[in-house]
């Protein structure tokens, strides 16, 4: 039997409630009103509606907590120690193109550390959830990172910088270094699900730069609770601040990190 905290139950219920409207909107994706938020970076009415439901449900249960949201920005709470980190649709571009690979992501931060996370893929009804010290689960099944030990047997995920983002050359250098050594690289367009898939053992690792806190907050605690490692490209814990993330199982995080550091000209952090 899985024992969950009241707070994690709140997060899971909020994600499921918000997903109902999201699934309806996905079925009518061609009728959505879409505004251009930036080059190749769209925001839809579905983003805003989903975020509104999430904020209402979480604030109702924990009114003192603050928020950091993709659309609504930062909102301070009277409890300065706790903050919700929310992405209403991680994979918005997929959503708007009718590609069924996107997720709701909710992280809970306490004193700068993410202590709980929920990532919900409503199309496939896959609800990933984790709490620090209590493990990570997919629906009712406990997860563990992949046991593969060799880079040449590993499949890694990544995110590709699109138009308007910096880092194209560095990404190509890193991708070339990784693809020359591994079994394959995948790019599916949702950082939250990439991290959840590492926790589930579907990928051996994942890396990306130029990423936002709401894309990765929930996934960080999931990978760690599944026995994996998550750092930035310097091998440190700066992911939420510098937008860099390298995740992997306990055998392949270091080899992946080393390949990326060498390709990008980084000096490895001291152990």
The domain in which residue 216 lies consists of: 151-264
Q: For residues 214 and 69, is the Cβ–Cβ distance under 8 A? A: yes
Residue 167 lies in a domain: yes
Q: CA-CA distance, 50 to 22, in Å (whole number)?
A: 7
The residue ranking higher by pLDDT, 32 or 63, is: 63
Q: CA-CA distance, 84 to 55, in Å (whole number)?
A: 9
User: CB under 8 Å to 247, separation ≥6 — which residues?
Assistant: 194, 195, 198, 205, 206, 207, 219, 220, 223, 228, 229, 230, 253
Are 129 and 16 contained in the same domain? yes
Q: 115 forms bridges with which residues in the sheet? A: none
Are 133 and 158 contained in the same domain? no
Residue 271 lies in a domain: no
Q: Average of pLDDT values for 224-240?
A: 97
pLDDT bucket at 158, cuts 50 / 70 / 90: very high
Residue 270 lies in a domain: no
Position 33 scores a pLDDT of 62
Residue 1 lies in a domain: no
- For the ranges 13-17, 30-34, 63-67, 181-185, the lowest mean pLDDT is seen at 30-34
Mean pLDDT of the chain: 93
Are 194 and 257 contained in the same domain? yes
Q: Average of pLDDT values for 226-253?
A: 97
Q: For residues 108 and 79, is the Cβ–Cβ distance under 8 A? A: no
Residue 91 lies in a domain: yes
Position 266 scores a pLDDT of 83
Residue 55 lies in a domain: yes
Q: How many CA atoms lie within 13 A of 19 on its CB side?
A: 22
Position 57 scores a pLDDT of 98
Q: CA-CA distance, 143 to 137, in Å (whole number)?
A: 5
Q: For residues 222 and 120, is the Cβ–Cβ distance under 8 A? A: no
Domain boundary among 90, 118, 142: 142
pLDDT at 269 over 60: no
Question: Is this structure's pTM higher than 0.85?
Answer: yes
Domain boundary among 124, 142, 160: 142
- For the ranges 38-42, 114-118, 251-255, the lowest mean pLDDT is seen at 38-42
Q: Which CATH number covers residue 12?
A: 3.30.540.10
Query: CA of 142: how far to CAs of 77, 154, 177, 209, 226, in Å?
Result: 33, 22, 33, 29, 8
- pLDDT > 70: what percent of the chain? 93
Domain boundary among 114, 142, 170: 142
């Amino acid at each position: 039997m899985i024992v969950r905290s009241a707070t994690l139950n709140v997060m899971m219920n909020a994600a499921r409630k918000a997903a109902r409207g999201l699934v309806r909107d996905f079925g009518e994706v061609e009728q959505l009103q879409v505004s251009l938020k930036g080059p190749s970076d769209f925001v839809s009415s579905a983003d805003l509606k989903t975020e509104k439901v999430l904020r209402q449900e979480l604030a109702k249960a924990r009114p003192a907590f603050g928020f950091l949201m993709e659309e609504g920005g930062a909102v301070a709470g009277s409890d300065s120690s706790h903050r919700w980190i929310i992405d209403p649709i991680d994979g918005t571009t997929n959503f708007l193109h009718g590609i069924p690979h996107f997720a709701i992501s909710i992280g809970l931060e306490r004193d700068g550390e993410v202590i709980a996370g929920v990532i919900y893929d409503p199309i496939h009804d896959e609800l990933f959830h984790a709490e620090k010290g209590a493990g990570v689960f997919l629906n009712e099944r406990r997860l563990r990172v992949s046991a593969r030990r060799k880079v040449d047997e590993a499949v890694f995920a990544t995110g590709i910088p699109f138009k308007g983002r910096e880092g194209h050359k560095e990404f190509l250098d890193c991708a070339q270094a990784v693809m020359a050594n591994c079994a394959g690289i995948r790019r599916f367009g949702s950082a939250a699900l990439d991290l959840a898939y590492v926790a589930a053992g579907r990928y051996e690792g994942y890396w990306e730069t130029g990423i936002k806190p709401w894309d990765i907050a929930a996934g960080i605690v999931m990978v760690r609770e599944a026995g994996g490692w998550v750092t930035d490209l310097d091998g440190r814990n700066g992911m939420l601040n510098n937008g860099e993330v390298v995740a992997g199982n306990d055998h392949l995080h270091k080899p992946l990190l080393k390949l990326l550091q060498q390709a990008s000209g980084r000096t490895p952090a001291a152990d």
